[in-house]
Structure 1
Amino acid sequence: MSHPRRPPEALYFVSAFGRDEARILEAIEALAEFLGAVTFRSEWLPFDYTDYYLEEFGAPLRRAFFFFDLRPQEDLVEVKHRAYEVEKAFSHQGRRTVNLDPGYLLLPRVVLSTFKDFAHRIYLGRGVFAEVTLLFREGSFRPLPWTYPDYAAPETLELFNRQRGLYKRRLKTLQPSETSS
């Protein structure tokens, strides 16, 4: 029989894009009031994998990943709602100027949060769904059939593999009482 136990804390991140890097940084700073300080920011890359956001945001779009400290996995619902509130606060004339997509990394997977339901997503509560988008197999994160193309890109996989290594080392430094109860 299995028994309930506390899972390890997750490494939270936010994928952030928009047209104005300074505006994105301001939005991340606002979100950091809840999430804590940014521990790592990826390089800025063009976000041109889809035309889905073109009407709302225009072009060109720039994107970076921002990583934060460890948090309980169950915080994902609240983190998604906080990101949504920051997006609304940074909107102009009813249109977002920044897109903030939170998720978290664990040793075996990368999980995204969304307000959109789909067959492969699990409902968490308060309108938030979770999606496993990358699995760690054979020494690397691997995309799944539904993984967004930007998350399946080699540079994104490399970024998450590097962050996984740092996360693994961080877990080893925690006291046993901090990783399970």
Structure 2
Amino acid sequence: MGVIRTPKPVKLFIAILYPEREILESVKPALREHFGEIEWESPHLPFTHTDYYRSIGEKLTRVFLVFEPLIDPGQLADIKITTNQIEAQTGDGEKERRINLDPGYFDGGKIVLATTKNFSHRVYIGKGIYAEATIKWEKGAFRPFEYTYPDYASEAYQPILLKIRELYRKSLAERESSTR
């Protein structure tokens, strides 16, 4: 029989798609209020991988915000619910929302993303939310699964994912040294 253990804390990030910088800036205070200080903001990259998000804008940009505090991975469903509420607040009468906030975390071995959509490779984590291991850390690099989103599998995202990994390892080491 396996022993039930509390999981190690994980590094929270939110992958954001936005059409205009002012929309991004307008949600940052709410993100800080709910998730803590922003530890790192990635470079802003053009998002050209799909037109699925055209309902929020035609020309989209992707940025990752990484948050200082480590979190319990069991919080992911509540975090997704909160980010959906923040998205809804950006609606303008014409558009239901003007930003896309995709929370996820790095746990040392994989990037996990939250979603409201079920699919064969996703696991229900409660409250109407599913999670998927989006890309794995293996043999010194991030390696995609067959279902990994093309943007996460791209070379352009590798430095960003590596930075998230670096910040996680640093935060975990600081946490472990402070508990000794």
Aligned length: 177
SS in 1 for 2:114: strand
Cα offset for 1:72?
0.7
User: Is the 1:77–1:126 contact (alpha carbons within 8 Å) kept by the matching residues of 2?
Assistant: yes
SS in 1 for 2:113: strand
SS in 2 for 1:124: strand
Cα offset for 1:177?
9.0
- Is residue 125 of structure 2 the alignment partner of residue 124 of structure 1? yes
Residue matched to 2:144: 143
Please give the residue correspondences for 1:54-93 in structure 2 after superposition, counting only pairs within 5 Å: 54=54, 56-69=55-68, 70-93=70-93
SS in 2 for 1:100: strand
- List, as ranges, runs of 4+ consecutive aligned residues in structure 1 with deviation greater than 4 Å: none
Please give the residue correspondences for 1:30-109 in structure 2 after superposition, counting only pairs within 5 Å: 30-54=30-54, 56-69=55-68, 70-93=70-93, 94-109=95-110
Cα offset for 1:161?
1.5
Unmatched runs of 5 consecutive residues or more in structure 2: none
- 1:177–1:76 CA distance, 2 compared to 1 (3 A): farther
Partner amino acid, structure 2, of 1:42: S
User: Is the 2:57–2:98 contact (alpha carbons within 8 Å) kept by the matching residues of 1?
Assistant: no
Scaled by the length of structure 1, what TM-score is found? 0.92
Residue matched to 1:159: 160
SS in 2 for 1:101: strand
Scaled by the length of structure 2, what TM-score is found? 0.93
- Is residue 12 of structure 2 the alignment partner of residue 15 of structure 1? no
Q: What RMSD, in angstroms, separates the aligned Cα atoms of the two structures?
A: 1.5
Cα offset for 1:162?
2.3
SS in 2 for 1:146: coil
> Following the alignment from structure 1 to structure 2, what is the Cα–Cα distance between the partners of residues 60 and 92?
18
Cα offset for 1:166?
2.6
Partner amino acid, structure 2, of 1:63: R
Cα offset for 1:95?
2.3
Percent of pairs with identical residues: 34
Unmatched runs of 5 consecutive residues or more in structure 1: none
Cα offset for 1:171?
1.3
- 1:177–1:124 CA distance, 2 compared to 1 (3 A): farther
Partner amino acid, structure 2, of 1:60: K
Cα offset for 1:176?
7.4
User: Is the 1:142–1:157 contact (alpha carbons within 8 Å) kept by the matching residues of 2?
Assistant: no
Instruction: Judge which range, 164-173 or 148-157, deviates more.
Output: 164-173
Residue matched to 1:170: 171
